[in-house]
Structure 1
Amino acid sequence: MQSQPIPSLDIDRLRADTPGCQDSLFMNSAGASLMPQPVVTAMQEYLQQEIQLGGYEVERLRISQTTRFYDETARLLNTHPSNIAYAYSATDATIQVLSAIPFRAGDTILTTTNDYVSNQLAFLSMQQRLGIRLLRINDLPNGDLDLTHLEELIRAHRPVLIAITHIPTNSGLVLPAEEVGRLCRQYDVWYLLDAAQSTGQLPLDVTLLQADFLVATGRKFLRGPRNTGFLYVSDRVLEAGLSPLFIDRRGATWTGPDAFTLQPNARRFEPQEVSLLHVGLTEAIRYANQVGIEAIRGQNQRLMRRLRTGLEQLDGINRLDWGSHQGNILTFNTSRQPLPALEAALRQGRVVFTAQYPSSALIDFQRKGIDWLIRLSPHYFNTLAEMDEVVDLMAHILR
Structure 2
Amino acid sequence: MLDINRLRADTPGCEQLVHFNNAGASLSPAVVAAAIARHQQREIRLGGYEAADAAQAETAAVYAGVARLLNARTEDIALVDNATRAWDMLFYALPLKAGDVVLTSASEYAGNYIPYLQLKQRLGIQIEVLANDEQGQVCLAALQARLQGPGVALVSLPMIASNGGVVQPVQAIGALCRAAGVLFLLDACQAAGQVPLDVRAIGCHMLTATSRKYLRGPRGVGFLYIEQALCQRLEPTFLDLHAASLVSADAFEIRADARRFESWESNLAVRLGFGAAVDYALGVGVDALWARIRHLANYLRTALHTLPGYHCQDVGQPLSGLVTFTSEHHAPAAIQHYLAHLPQRINVSVSGAASTWLDMQQRGLESVVRASVHAYNTEAELDSLVDALRAL
**TM-score under structure 1 normalisation?**
0.94
**Which string of whole-angstrom CA distances, capped at 9 and with x for unpartnered residues, describes residues 54-104 of structure 1?**
211111111122110111011111121111111211111111111221111
Q: Determine helix, strand or coil for the equivalent of 2:149.
A: helix
How far 1:141 moved relative to its partner?
A: 4.3
How far 1:53 moved relative to its partner?
A: 2.5
**Given the superposition, is the C-alpha separation of residues 158 and 23 from structure 1 closer, same or farther in structure 2, using an over 3 Å criterion?**
same
Pick the aligned partner of 1:164 from 152, 157, 160: 157
Query: What is the CA–CA distance in structure 2 between the aligned matches of 1:70 and 1:341, rounded to whole Å?
Result: 42
Query: What is the CA–CA distance in structure 2 between the aligned matches of 1:332 and 1:248, rounded to whole Å?
Result: 46
Q: Does 2:62 align with 1:76?
A: no
Q: Does 2:82 align with 1:66?
A: no
Give the aligned partner of residue 5 of structure 1. none
Q: Which amino acid aligns with 1:287?
A: Y
**Which string of whole-angstrom CA distances, capped at 9 and with x for unpartnered residues, describes residues 296-355 of structure 1?**
112112211211111112221111111111111000111122345423322233110111
Q: Which amino acid aligns with 2:353?
A: P
Contact 1:108 1:159 in 2 (8 A): yes
Give the aligned partner of residue 373 of structure 1. 368
Q: Determine helix, strand or coil for the equivalent of 1:360.
A: coil
Pick the aligned partner of 2:109 from 99, 116, 126: 116
Q: Does 2:260 align with 1:265?
A: no
Q: Does 2:356 align with 1:361?
A: yes
Give the aligned partner of residue 85 of structure 1. 78
**Given the superposition, is the C-alpha separation of residues 203 and 312 from structure 1 closer, same or farther in structure 2, using an over 3 Å criterion?**
same
Pick the aligned partner of 2:307 from 291, 314, 318: 314
Pick the aligned partner of 1:195 from 183, 188, 195: 188
Pick the aligned partner of 1:286 from 276, 279, 282: 279
Query: What is the CA–CA distance in structure 1 between the aligned matches of 2:42 and 2:109, rounded to whole Å?
Result: 38
**Given the superposition, is the C-alpha separation of residues 99 and 339 from structure 1 closer, same or farther in structure 2, using an over 3 Å criterion?**
closer
Q: Which amino acid aligns with 1:250?
A: H
- Once the two structures are superposed, the pairs formed by residues 1-399 of structure 1 within 5 Å of their partners are 8-238=1-231, 240-274=232-266, 275-349=268-342, 350-397=345-392
Percent identical among aligned pairs is: 37
Query: What is the CA–CA distance in structure 1 between the aligned matches of 2:280 and 2:53, rounded to whole Å?
Result: 24
Q: Determine helix, strand or coil for the equivalent of 1:136.
A: strand
Q: Which amino acid aligns with 1:288?
A: A
Moved more, 128-137 or 258-267: 258-267
**Which string of whole-angstrom CA distances, capped at 9 and with x for unpartnered residues, describes residues 186-224 of structure 1?**
000111000000000110011111110000000100111
**Which string of whole-angstrom CA distances, capped at 9 and with x for unpartnered residues, describes residues 338-395 of structure 1?**
3454233222331101112211111211121121210000101111211122122222
Q: Which amino acid aligns with 2:330?
A: Q
Moved more, 320-329 or 51-60: 51-60
Q: What is the CA RMSD across the aligned residues, in angstroms?
A: 1.4
How far 1:142 moved relative to its partner?
A: 4.2
Moved more, 227-236 or 188-197: 227-236
How far 1:30 moved relative to its partner?
A: 0.1
Give the aligned partner of residue 4 of structure 1. none
Query: What is the CA–CA distance in structure 2 between the aligned matches of 1:151 and 1:186, rounded to whole Å?
Result: 9
Gaps of 5+ in 2: none
Gaps of 5+ in 1: 1-7
Q: Which amino acid aligns with 1:235?
A: Q
Count residues in correspondence.
389
Moved more, 143-152 or 177-186: 143-152
How far 1:107 moved relative to its partner?
A: 1.3
Query: What is the CA–CA distance in structure 2 between the aligned matches of 1:390 and 1:67, rounded to whole Å?
Result: 42
Q: Which amino acid aligns with 1:154?
A: L
Query: What is the CA–CA distance in structure 2 between the aligned matches of 1:95 and 1:364, rounded to whole Å?
Result: 22
Query: What is the CA–CA distance in structure 2 between the aligned matches of 1:354 and 1:342, rounded to whole Å?
Result: 9
Q: Determine helix, strand or coil for the equivalent of 1:376.
A: strand
Q: Determine helix, strand or coil for the equivalent of 2:384.
A: helix
How far 1:256 moved relative to its partner?
A: 1.3
Query: What is the CA–CA distance in structure 1 between the aligned matches of 2:60 and 2:134, rounded to whole Å?
Result: 46
Contact 2:333 2:369 in 1 (8 A): no
Contact 1:144 1:322 in 2 (8 A): no
